[in-house]
A and B are shown apart, each in its own frame.
Chain A
Amino acid sequence: MNDQFLIDKARENLKEKIVEITNPARRRIFLEVGLDDLLASVSWLKNDLGFTHLSTISGVDLGETFEVIYHFANNYCCLNIRVKIPRDNPLLPSICELIPGAILYEREIKEMFGLTVQNIPDGRPLLLPDDWPAGNYPLRKDWKYERPPEVIPGGEK
């Protein structure tokens, strides 16, 4: 199994679903698909190619769109699937039926970016504290944090 073999198999099976496929380094393949084809691509990867291990889900704020990357790994390489979602309508289908281990990562990306994950089995926030004010999504680029001035006990104010 090598990179070229995986790229050829992806092209012949997913055909028009692929927007772009790149191989920037050895054992790293980046595959971009449209939002509606996400579940089909993940199920093909799991059943045909044997990529059952999901390492994590990352989100990037690109301004007008959010980019969500699913990092899959098997015993040869790391294949990353990318989808782009518009900022004003951030909906994302959940892949928890195919990969049950994705639940924690989807909860995290939901609370950090404010995305809406459809059909998520358990949508509670994962990491943010209980008294976090709603509507604040820390990892968006336009969310800034101002540290309140600190009081040094016994020192100057």
Chain B
Amino acid sequence: MLTKLTHWSRLKSPWILHLNTGACNACDIEVVAALTPRFDVERFGILLKATPRHADVIVCTGPATRQMKDRLLRIYEQTPEPKFVMAVGACAMSGCVYRGAYNVIGGIDQLIPVDVYVPGCPVRPDAVIDGVVKLLNKLKGIE
């Protein structure tokens, strides 16, 4: 009974953690703009949380730089199960313009498993909301 309750609450109100692994900031500003009155994701119950221990979904932007590699892995391990990763932006998907640079590994799927990819350079806030909805549908699929 309790699992059903937690599963329903996770579906109705996923809490997200926003992680920037070395991006140019454009995608981050658009993710934050999704909170502002024009797009307003909080009415869907999506809350931006400050610590990985509270989060259900990790929203990741930026190509993974070498310095951030250990931190990204550590944050991924700190987030409790079940967790989902959303790769936002062309940089997190494959590296965008930075492919071939010496400090960039590539997309974040080289390091952690990713569930949803949201393309764009930078992403529109509407696309971020769409990505979260698709993730929720995927969550429903494991019910």
Question: Measuring CB to CB, which residues of chain A are less than 8 angstroms from any residue of chain B?
Answer: 128-132, 138, 145, 147, 150-153
Contact = CB atoms under 8 A, between A and B. Distances in A.
B99 interface: yes
Contacts, number: 21
B99 A153 contact: no
Interface stretch (B3-11, B34-42, B105-113): B105-113
A147 B99 contact: yes
A20 to B, nearest CB: 34
Interface of B: 65-67, 99-103, 106, 109-110, 113-114
A152 B110 CA distance: 8
B110 A150 contact: yes
A145 B103 CA distance: 10
A153 B103 contact: no
Given A129-B65, A129-B67, A130-B67, A147 B113 contact: no
Q: Is the interface of A mostly helix, strand, loop or mixed?
A: loop
A129 B103 contact: yes
Contacts of A151: 110
18 contacts: A128-B103, A129-B65, A129-B67, A129-B103, A130-B67, A131-B66, A132-B66, A138-B102, A145-B100, A145-B101, A147-B99, A147-B100, A150-B106, A150-B110, A152-B109, A153-B109, A153-B113, A153-B114
Nearest to B65: A129
A151 B107 CA distance: 10
Given A147-B100, A152-B109, 19 more contacts: A128-B103, A129-B65, A129-B66, A129-B67, A129-B103, A130-B67, A131-B66, A132-B66, A138-B102, A145-B100, A145-B101, A145-B102, A147-B99, A150-B106, A150-B110, A151-B110, A153-B109, A153-B113, A153-B114
Contacts of B106: 150
